Amino acid sequence: MRDLKERIEKVYRRLLKLYPEPHRPRRTPLEQAVFTVLSQNTTDKNAQRCVENLKKLTGGDFLKIPLLPKEKVIEAIRPCGMFNQKYTALKALLERWPEVEKKLKELPAKEGIKLLTSFPFIGSKTARVILTFGFNKNTFPIDTHCKRVLKRLGLIPEGWSFDDFSEFMEENFSGEFNRVFHYNLIRLGREICGARKPRCSECPLRDICPYANLFQP
Ligand code: SF4
């Protein structure tokens, strides 16, 4: 595992050179939770649009969401798709939010993941994003961009699930390292290592990437 750790550190350093100032959006824990639930299976732009719709609908108080007529909330979050599931998730989470927020601040990250995933339609990736960006906890969320880039780089050991890899990151690196690495993998995935046509000739990881060596001229 020392070899894996070293390879991760190498990728991290190269990405940090490429993206020296990672963008970190600042949201309150509550806004981060609402945004993260809405952003599942859609773009950040769509999710943010729905957050703005909900702000208008609630006058900025998201805790009113469970008290509002379902149709009104659905109308506000329709642009981000899967609106019935997302409504159910938001309602259940926000009904208990003050108590949940207090617990999430105090609990270790692992317990926080357990608590959040006990709510409907909140999986471990969503839980980790809420904890990383809303509560500054040491978790390593893996979204579709991270999955693709990590696989191409050959960093997921044979037989490991993505949850196994998240746990390895959480046990071996600091919260700051994991936040920056997560964010920069997403940026690389969006800007250079696209799903259809990775632009390996422009990528600073080309010489250490098995995918580039195998499939790119
Ligand atoms: S070298 Fe190509 S496949 Fe590898 S990470 Fe970079 S863009 Fe992706």
Which residue from 202, 206, 213 has its CB within 8 A of the most atoms of ligand 1, so it is best to mutate? Answer: 206
In this predicted structure, the answer to whether residue 22 has a pLDDT above a threshold of 70 is no
Compute, in angstroms, the gap from residue 23 CA to the centroid of ligand 1.
21
CA of residue 140 to ligand 1 center, whole Å:
21
pLDDT for 57 beyond 70: yes
- What lies within 8 Å, CB to CB, of 24 at 6+ separation is 133, 179, 183
Among 1.10.3720.10, 3.40.50.11240, 1.10.340.30, 3.30.70.920, name the CATH number for the domain at 29-135: 1.10.340.30
Say if pTM beats, i.e. exceeds, 0.95. no
Q: What is the widest separation between alpha-carbon atoms in the chain?
A: 58
| C-alpha to C-alpha distance for 76 and 108, rounded to whole angstroms | 34
Distance 53 CA to ligand 1 centre (A): 37
The rounded Å distance from CA 208 to ligand 1 centre is 9
Does residue 32 carry a pLDDT above 90? yes
Percent of the chain with pLDDT strictly greater than 70: 97
Query: What residues does ligand 1 touch, defined as CB less than 6 Å away?
Result: 149, 152-153, 192-193, 198-200, 203, 205-206, 209, 211-212
Query: Per-domain residue ranges for the chain?
Result: 2-22+141-215, 29-135
Distance (Å) from CA 104 to ligand 1 centroid: 36
What pLDDT is attached to residue 21?
82
The tokens 């609630």 sit on which residue? 58
Neighbouring C-beta atoms of residue 50, cutoff 10 Å: 24
Length of the chain: 217
Asked if pLDDT for residue 130 goes beyond 90, the answer is yes
Task: Output the residue whose Cα is nearest ligand 1's atom 1.
Answer: 206
Please give the mean pLDDT across all residues of the chain. 95
Q: How far apart are CA 115 and CA 127, in angstroms?
A: 9
- Which residue from 10, 11, 153 has its CB within 8 A of the most atoms of ligand 1, so it is best to mutate? 153
pLDDT band at 94 (very low <50, low <70, confident <90, very high): very high
Long-range CB contact pairs, 164-167, < 8 A, 24+: 165/140, 166/124, 166/128, 166/139, 166/140, 166/141, 166/142
Between 197 and 119, where is the model more confident? Answer: 119
Tokens of 153: 């780089």
pLDDT at 179 over 90: yes
Q: What's the average model confidence in pLDDT over 118-123?
A: 96
**Given this model, what pLDDT does residue 203 score?**
96
CATH topology of domain 2-22+141-215: Endonuclease Iii, domain 2 (1.10.1670)
- Fold match, 2-22+141-215 / 29-135: no
Q: How far apart are CA 170 and CA 149, in angstroms?
A: 19
Q: Is residue 213 very low, low, confident or very high in pLDDT (cuts 50, 70, 90)?
A: confident
Name the 3-class secondary structure at 184: helix
